[in-house]
Structure 1
Amino acid sequence: MTRPTSRDVAGAAGVSQATVSLVLGGKWRGRVSERTAALVRESATALGYRPNLAARNLRLGSTRTALLVVPALTNEFFARVYTGAARIAAEHGFGVVLYPSPDGTGPARDPFASARAALDGVIASSMAAHALDALGGGADGGVPLVMLDSDPAAGTAAAHVNLAMADGMRQVTEHLLALGHRRFLHLASAVDSWTFAVRAEALAALLEPHAALRTVRAPLTVDAARSAAEAALAASPDRPTAIVCDDDILAAGACKAARRLGLRVPEDLSVTGFDDLALAIAVEPELTTVRLPAERVGEQGMNALLTVLDGAPWTAPDLPVELVPRGSSGPAPA
């Protein structure tokens, strides 16, 4: 069977080969209508057309490959970020290589002989900008760097895509205060990163002077969270009535700690999470948590990189987040 060509796609869509090239090369915005671009993509899909990327790369001096760096693969959030980024990349003839940093949020090693030669851009999720120095990303002539869920003040990134984390914490706080809670425990992530610092600062600012707040930190595992929460609850003379957790994994550990101490959730203790992972509805009672649109983060990250590669500036507001009240939060005990 003969492999379909761009000429075949052009004939099926009723457009020129130049238009096919623009659309499938991701350069159509402002030159081709949305309707025509959709028609070209549909025709290419129906014919099973795949562009000869090797030949195109030789012409353009481009690999059409982006590297997505994440702290770990064990967290569902980063898998969703990849899904969103890969979806947008595929629409523009790009590939996305997923790279879990061997040192977590620490400095990421170059996975290739030289990332500058192998990549068109780097997208980093929940990493510090300086952690990408070895990859050559930044404003020093290296490949363009897009930071996700990271410090917007970091000057080396070409673009940032962030979530409204402080607003998420506001929604949690207002929800619990309205339920009558005045003694809080913040089960915070032990990971030293911008995103968790924002949550901690927002929670402290929102509760003062309305309620008492104590903070304990734990690694992002259920067992570590259970141990930290159990110790904090057992040692407190004025036991908190609500635990605000930086992550659903930490919240699951807090719920286990409550059960071990004979406390009922939410009758004796309310617990809230962050992320809305699959875990949030796997536990009983189901977790009240803040839903983070992880796939949207990945989509925006890839769109930002494509915009930067086109030589245009990227600006966008923080992505909204949403409190999802479930069974793990209830009125403060009398």
Structure 2
Amino acid sequence: MTAHEHPTAARPGPAAAPRATSRDVARAAGVSQAAVSLVLGDKWRGRVSPPKAEAVRAAARDLGYRPNLAARSLRTGRTRTALLVVPALTSEYFARVYTGAARVAAEHGFGVVLYPSPEGIGPARDPFDSARAALDGVIASSMATDALTAMRGGDLPLVMLDSDPGDGQATATVNPDIADGVRRLTAHLLALGHRRITHLAAAVDSWTFHVRASALAEALRGAPDADVRTEPAALSVEAGLHAAQAALTRPGPRPTALLCDDDLLAAGACKAARRLGLRVPEDVSVTGVDDLALARALEPELTTVRLPAEEVGAAGMRALMAVLEGHVPAPVTLPVDLLVRGSTAAAP
């Protein structure tokens, strides 16, 4: 069959739009190509003014400019790819961490590969034949450094998020100030007159949950009349429900507040209270940690501590890029926010 018999077969398709070049970005931003290279390579500080650097980034976004990473990799010996390791993909928190890391990475021509460890917080397997050959660095959230040994050896830089800052194996650390959040949450409950408090503690052997327990104990030193008990639970709504039911039906005076390590546990606690015919917050106050979307979906809305997950991911990516440029980043601690909503009230 010929093109003459089927005219549409010979009709050319629409021409692809020409790919933007660094020269196009330079022209749009009103700077030199060298300045474009410095800004997009994150080497501009002290060499290009902040307003010009922002103009370059804006022009690159508007033009859809993407640097030639293959050519750059050949010149630098780098892949400009980072691996973000998280214990699970079921948590909204880790999705936000990835969003922050990927945003900063994209601004600087990096890629981020998200890897949920099959073993949770346990030892993570190498997802490649050799991670050290495929990556420039590893960012890991809510894990221990020895869980990353198989994939990084002693070669790849490692940035730890929401993890023990005292672990000397990490190249850099970024943490939300969880201890401050739990102290403020405890002070909030004490100010409302709560003295019978049950801690719904995540049954996960990780630094971040040990910090929550320690911060709670520290905050309660100023309230010697407080009766605090601990009810461990797996990280799920269902586990929170069962743990809260156990706490609320145990013989003796009923707790007036349930302080939960996580918003999922808090959601389960609210369900348990309703099933037992108790009102939140009139009969029992409930608090969480994270400020997931779930916290605003509950009725009443949940008093919780907002952890700045996106900012944690973004700061982790910036720390990795600083390490790759030969710098030694100082440990970063990001502030958290206590969000007082309808699930807490004066002790009955």
1:155 matched to 2:171: no
2:335 is matched with 320
User: 2: distance between equivalents of 1:131 and 1:66?
Assistant: 17
5 Å matches for 1:90-239?
90-136=106-152, 140=154, 142-208=155-221, 209-239=224-254
Mapped to 1, the partners of 2:49 and 2:170 lie a distance apart of 31
Q: Give distance in 2, aligned partners of 1:94 and 1:291.
A: 28
1:62 aligned partner, one-letter code: R
Moved over 3 A (4+): none
Give secondary structure in 2 for the equivalent of 1:162.
strand
CA displacement at 1:38 relative to structure 2: 1.5
* Secondary structure class of the residue paired with 1:51: coil
Distance in 2, Cα, partners of 1:101 & 1:176: 36
Distance 1:280 1:293 in 2: 15
Q: Does 1:72 align with 2:72?
A: no
Displacement after TM superposition at 1:317 (Å):
4.3
Deviation at 1:8, TM superposition (A): 2.7
- Greater alpha carbon shift after TM alignment, 15-24 vs 278-287: 15-24
Q: CA deviation at 1:234?
A: 1.0
User: Cα deviations across residues 91-149 of structure 1 (Å, max 9, x unaligned)?
Assistant: 11101111111111111111111110111110001011111001115xx3x11000000
Tell me the CA shift for residue 6 of structure 1.
Answer: 1.8
Distance in 1 between the 2:309 and 2:20 partners?
A: 36
Counterpart among 44, 69, 77 of residue 28 in structure 1: 44
The one of 14, 21, 39 aligned to 2:55: 39
Partner Cα distance (1:300, 1:277) in 2: 20
Q: Deviations over 1:37-89 (max 9, x none)?
A: 12222222333322111111111100000111111111101001111111111
Q: Provide Cα deviations, 1:175-234, integer angstroms capped at 9, x if missing partner.
A: 111111001100000111000000001111221324111001111111111011102221
* 2:280 alignment partner in structure 1: 265
CA distance in 2 between counterparts of 1:108 and 1:202 reads 29
The question of whether the paired residues in 1 share the 8 Å contact of 2:173 and 2:332 is answered with no
Match of 2:289, SS?
coil
Bigger Rg, which one: 2
Q: Which amino acid aligns with 2:103?
A: R
* d(CA) in 2 for partners of 1:224, 1:46: 47
- The secondary structure found in structure 1 opposite 2:82 is strand
Unaligned runs of 5+ in 2: 1-16
- Paired AA for residue 26 in structure 1: D
Contiguous gaps of at least 5 residues in structure 1: none
Superposition TM-score, scaled by structure 2 size? 0.92
Quote how far apart the aligned CAs of 1:14 are: 3.0
Identical residues among aligned pairs (%) = 71
- Hey, what's the Cα distance between the residues in 1 that align with 2:271 and 2:62? 51
Inter-partner Cα distance in structure 1 for 2:91 and 2:18: 43
Output the amino acid matched with 2:334: L
Q: Amino acid of the residue matched to residue 226 of structure 1?
A: L
Aligned with 1:297 (options 300, 307, 312): 312
Structure 1 vs Structure 2 CA RMSD: 1.2
Alpha carbons 1:126, 1:149 under 8 Å: kept: yes
The number of residues matched between the two structures is 330
Structure 2 distance, partners of 1:155, 1:268, is 46
